[in-house]
Amino acid sequence: MSKRIPATLIAGDGIGPEIVDATLAALAALGAPFEWDPQAAGLAGIKAAGDPLPQATLDSIRKTRLALKGPLETPSGGGYRSSNVRLREEFKLYANLRPARTIVPGGRFDKIDLVVVRENLEGLYIGHEHYVQIDDDPHAVAMATGINTRAGCRHILEYAFEHAIATGRKKVTIVHKANIMKALTGIFKETAEQMYEEKYKGRIAMESVIVDACAMKLVLNPWQFDVLVTTNLFGDILSDLVAGLVGGLGMAPGANIGRDAAIFEAVHGSAPDIAGQGKANPVALMLAAAMMLDHVQRKDLGDRLRNAIDATLNVDKIRTGDLGGSASTGVFAKALVSRITNG
The catalytic residues are 125, 177, 212, 236
Phi and psi at residue 209, to the nearest 5°:
-145, 145
Q: Could you tell me the CA-to-CA distances from 32 to 4, 37, 65, 290, 339 in Å, in that order?
A: 9, 15, 17, 10, 15
Secondary structure (3-state) at 283: helix
Q: How many CA atoms lie within 13 A of 41 on its CB side?
A: 32
Phi and psi at residue 35, to the nearest 5°:
-110, 105
Rg of the chain, C-alpha, whole Å: 20
- Angle at CA of residue 306, ends 300 and 289, nearest 5°: 80
User: What is the Cα–Cα distance from 343 to 326, expressed in whole angstroms?
Assistant: 23
